[in-house]
Amino acid sequence: MSDVLERVISEIAAAPHSAGALTLYALVATLEFEKAGYMFKLLKLRDLSPDQRQLAFGLMELMASGANAGEVWESAKQRMDDIVRAG
């Protein structure tokens, strides 16, 4: 699990305000809201490179397996928050 999250963090850190980084960041944020049905506009996947789409699919797999909560997820999300806010 942490491999996908670490790769997403690296992608966001490389260009925090790029379309791809912000789309991945939005997906991570969306995956925290089960009651809202994880509403993510799939059309936004077009803004991602093929490698970034693979990361997005990895994030969705984490959600499907229930790994989108807990200490590892929350720590990774906080790191992403810090990167985007500082960038």
Where in the chain are the domains?
A: 2-86
Q: Tell me the pLDDT tens digit for each residue of 9-59.
A: 999 999 999 999 999 999 999 888 877 777 888 889 999 999 999 999 999
Largest CA distance in the chain: 32
Q: Tell me the pLDDT tens digit for each residue of 12-22.
A: 999 999 999 99
Residue that has been written with the tokens 């200490």 in this structure: 71
Q: What is the pTM of this model?
A: 0.90
Cα dist from 34 to 5, 18, 29, 66, whole Å: 19, 26, 11, 10
Between 39 and 63, residue with greater pLDDT: 63
The radius of gyration of the chain's CA atoms, rounded to the nearest angstrom, is 12
- Who contacts 60 (Cβ-Cβ below 8 Å, separation ≥6)? 27, 31
The whole-number average pLDDT for the span 3-9 is 97
